A and B are shown apart, each in its own frame.
Chain A
Amino acid sequence: MKILVALKRVADPANHNKVKIPAAGDKIDTAGLEWQINPFDLYALETALRLTEDGKAPKTRLGEVVAVTLGPAETETNLRSALATGADRAIRVDTTDDALDGRLVAAALQKLVEEEKPDLVLMGKQVVDGENNYVGQALAELLDWPMATFAATIKEEAGGLLVGREVDGGVSTLRVKFPAVVTVDLRIVAPDSVRSSKTAEGFKYPYEEVRFAPLPAIMQAKKKPLAVKKLADLVGGATLSSKYVKFEAPPARKAGVKVKDVQELVQKLATEAKAI
């Protein structure tokens, strides 16, 4: 099986960096931010690796995983890290963050998919910065491929996948035929969430997160192929279809007030906060 995994870098949510917005409010200032791969996309990478191996003998690769990102040269660090984690090769589409929107990313991925002809495209259900939950669905539409979103379990079966999706009120199970687009949710990395055609039923992975990049793989990562393509060569002439009008930071929290008693609280909630 050949799988294309789309990765996006995001500002590390755990560090103390503040994402800055210049006074003009025309963009987000990304200078000095620390980057990491969007966590849901990392889960997609782990899913792809599990689908291309026998869980019992993960060292033998049974398929190909191609990691893809769109961004400036420094995003190659993120791709190298995906290669060290186990992806077989990588593609970077050279562009800058502010030259992109969801539709353009989907269009660029469409062209890459047409070149690469994978059986499956995997990505996170959404990106933790913009939270748009858009690219997977748009890509499936552009390709006119079957799609399953919010995958929590994936079992490979002949010619396709059985996908368990967590939805309000339960699990909806979809059967999708290859080629397909699947976006994954966080439970996809539970020990027995993903089963390739070779992984025995009942097998459990001994971890529930993205696997470690072992030292030998880190050292080999730079020997794995990493191709660079120009955005214009994929989607020449395409323009942004979303227009960013203005960025502003959420209002700072104001200091609270202490109330004397419940009555005053109720009164303030009713008259000042207008919450009741």
Chain B
Amino acid sequence: MSLPQNRYKADLRELEFVLFEQFGLGQLLQREPYQDWGEEEVKLTLSEVYRLATEVTGPLNAVGDREGCRVEGGQVVTPSGFRDAWKKVYESGFKSLIVPPEFGGQSAPRVLSAIATELTSGSNTAFDMYPGLTIGAADLIEAFGTPEQRERYCHKMFSGEWAGTMCLTEPQAGSDVGAATSFAKKNADGTYSISGTKIFISGGDQDLTENIVHMVLARTEGAPKGTKGLSLFIVPKRRVAADGSSGELNDVKCLSVEHKMGIKGSSTALLQFGDDGQCLGELCGTAEQQGIKQMFKMMNYARIGVGLQGLGIASAAYLSALEYARERKQGANAAAWKDPDAPRVAIIEHANVRRMLLWMKAHVEGVRALIVKGAMHLDHAMALAGKDDQAALYHQGQVELLTPLIKSYSSDTAFRVAELAIQVHGGVGYTMDYPVEQHARDAKIFSIYEGTNGIQALDLVARKLGQAGGMNTQRFLGDVAAFIEKNRDHAVLGPSVANLAAAHEAVAGSVMQLLGWSQSGELARIPLVANRFLTMMSELTVGWLLLDAAVIALEKQQGLTKDDRDWAFYEGKRHAAVFFAQQVLPSVVGSAKMLSAGDTSPLDIPDAAFATV
């Protein structure tokens, strides 16, 4: 048992910078349908969500980790305090930021919802997954369900009265979704009898809500093999009576929950559907065999969501390390290291600690900018659709291209930032007295679920690069080139922009290399370098966005005095950008060399040669 205590914090000044100063949220808010929103509402929302994160969900982060979830009499029991937190979170209304007004939402831009998610998820990843999955499931019904289904399910799911889950994975069908064998037999009254086993279902059972609506991928009678044969079903834990209330159990049994490395407060259930032949589901919408298409429409949101989970933890871990480095005294200043009487200094004064802190700062802020850029493209695409289709197409194209970067680079970075945060803490970081070891354990799953990072890399290289005839990639590279052109001679950042230019050239060259291989039939080489390429392109993007932030910051810094809080804030932007440009971007050039060298040893080595055991 662990006493509730909040360890989470966030830098709201930084969030406001990214939204308003770097990405121009103010301009977006003047467009339909966001006019109800002004800067004041956005800032008030952020400060209230931050209160919620530090006062309601944050204090339960370690509690959830220590207690975990358990099954008692076929029912999952969530950690102490989660039920109360669920109530408070939904009463606050912040889970309906982007819910359509007809379901009680506020039509906020996705980018605001994204940053709100950074705060709620960062304060308690495990807890935030229950509402996160619920919104995802409700979004599916909202997008594809019949009017009756929307009426029956969406109100209650968006308001938090009921929860929702996504049931894709089966024991033999993980990354290979098309291997799913769950079966749906159509009944005379139009309902379907569902049977099958689903595993790793987040929020698959819990005691937070009276009903849970499972979105289940299953195969109808005579449906073809593979993903094409899958249909999407709405399968509630309790059958829904004619008056809309939750009735008798629907033969969905939770047999167990996983014992995991992290996110222990989130129940990960093994669900048995129709063990007694009594599980009824309804087709989502009216057409069978649309399941995978429907799921894919939601994929960008879900993957950006995982990116936000990574950002939330990375930022929390960085700020924890920073706080510790400012407090912990150890050793003398390097200039006086031989003097035993020299005053002991906080470890933030030591060069190696500063290096780690700046590494974390640059990566965290860079990932935040990457995600906010992606979410802004999404908002612009939605706001411009039907008004300026050319522009909307550009924005949607950038969303498609950036989504695998957001999912993978953020999740990998989160784990690495958490690892460094432990390192900054030294021995105590390895204990449960500090929050960073939990950060590392919680963050590891992000690179695995919602499409492993290996799959993301293949998605980028095999689908996204060539999408729309390669236009999205060209526009992206063109945007970076335009920034380089404009800032090549920047008085402070010029040398860093030169490194960006070299990285840009390296990425563009690698794109050509990949294209060459695919045209000459050397497809086998591509999966060997897909991950490397995804990292290169992510680092190029992050380096660009950090430099873009630094250009803005240096302009705004003019006229401020050094004791102004904003002076130091803007100075931080400059150093993060220079650090990344000088100490990360050159590796993109090296990576391009490795990529084009085309080493195939992982393919050449015989299976038996990996080890003799």
A residues in contact (CB < 8 Å) with B: 15-18, 20, 32, 34, 77, 80-81, 84, 206, 209, 212-219, 221-222
B472 interface residue per 8 A CB criterion: no
B406 interface residue per 8 A CB criterion: no
A80–B92 touching, CB < 8 Å: no
Within 8 A of A (CB), among B92-112: 92-94, 96-97, 104, 106
CB-defined contacts of A222 to chain B, threshold 8 Å: 38, 40-41
CB-defined contacts of B92 to chain A, threshold 8 Å: 212, 214-215
- Scoring B residues 341 to 370 as 1 if CB is less than 8 Å from chain A, else 0, what string do you get? 000000000000000000000000000000
Q: Give the nearest-CB partner of A32 in chain B.
A: B564
Q: Give the nearest-CB partner of A258 in chain B.
A: B341
B55 interface residue per 8 A CB criterion: yes
A215–B93 touching, CB < 8 Å: yes
B139 interface residue per 8 A CB criterion: no
User: Could you write out 23 A-B pairs with CB less than 8 Å apart?
Assistant: A16-B565, A18-B563, A20-B563, A32-B565, A84-B44, A84-B48, A206-B88, A212-B52, A212-B91, A213-B44, A214-B92, A214-B93, A214-B94, A215-B45, A215-B94, A215-B106, A216-B106, A218-B41, A218-B45, A218-B48, A219-B36, A221-B41, A221-B44
B566 interface residue per 8 A CB criterion: yes
- Scoring B residues 73 to 91 as 1 if CB is less than 8 Å from chain A, else 0, what string do you get? 0000000000010001001
CB-defined contacts of A32 to chain B, threshold 8 Å: 564-566
User: In the bound complex, how far is the Cα of B84 from the Cα of A217, in angstroms?
Assistant: 21
B565–A15 touching, CB < 8 Å: yes
B51 interface residue per 8 A CB criterion: yes
CB-defined contacts of A16 to chain B, threshold 8 Å: 565
CB-defined contacts of A213 to chain B, threshold 8 Å: 44, 48
Which of B36, B40, B88, B564 makes the CB contact (< 8 A) with A77?
B40
CB-defined contacts of B564 to chain A, threshold 8 Å: 32
Q: Smallest distance from the beta carbon of B81 to chain A beta carbons, Å?
A: 12
CB-defined contacts of B94 to chain A, threshold 8 Å: 214-215
Q: Smallest distance from the beta carbon of A86 to chain B beta carbons, Å?
A: 13
CB-defined contacts of B563 to chain A, threshold 8 Å: 18, 20
Q: Smallest distance from the beta carbon of A28 to chain B beta carbons, Å?
A: 14
User: In the bound complex, how far is the Cα of B565 from the Cα of A47, in angstroms?
Assistant: 34
Q: Give the nearest-CB partner of A20 in chain B.
A: B563
User: In the bound complex, how far is the Cα of B96 from the Cα of A34, in angstroms?
Assistant: 29
Q: Give the nearest-CB partner of B564 in chain A.
A: A32
User: In the bound complex, how far is the Cα of B44 from the Cα of A214, in angstroms?
Assistant: 10
Given contacts A77-B40, A219-B106, A222-B40, contact A212 B565 (CB under 8 A): no
Q: Give the nearest-CB partner of B91 in chain A.
A: A214
User: In the bound complex, how far is the Cα of B47 from the Cα of A84, in angstroms?
Assistant: 12
A81–B44 touching, CB < 8 Å: yes
Which of A34, A80, A215 makes the CB contact (< 8 A) with B97?
A215
Which of A15, A84, A209, A217 makes the CB contact (< 8 A) with B55?
A209
CB-defined contacts of A216 to chain B, threshold 8 Å: 93, 104, 106
CB-defined contacts of A209 to chain B, threshold 8 Å: 55
CB-defined contacts of A218 to chain B, threshold 8 Å: 41, 44-45, 48
Q: Give the nearest-CB partner of B108 in chain A.
A: A215
CB-defined contacts of B97 to chain A, threshold 8 Å: 215
Nearest 10 A/B pairs, CB to CB: A215-B93, A214-B93, A212-B92, A218-B44, A214-B92, A213-B48, A32-B564, A215-B94, A17-B565, A216-B93
CB-defined contacts of A18 to chain B, threshold 8 Å: 563
User: In the bound complex, how far is the Cα of B44 from the Cα of A127, in angstroms?
Assistant: 22
A80–B40 touching, CB < 8 Å: yes
Q: Give the nearest-CB partner of B87 in chain A.
A: A206
Within 8 A of A (CB), among B396-421: none
Most buried by A among B40, B44, B88, B96: B44
Within 8 A of A (CB), among B545-582: 563-566
User: In the bound complex, how far is the Cα of B455 from the Cα of A184, in angstroms?
Assistant: 59
- Scoring B residues 209 to 251 as 1 if CB is less than 8 Å from chain A, else 0, what string do you get? 0000000000000000000000000000000000000000000
A212–B48 touching, CB < 8 Å: yes
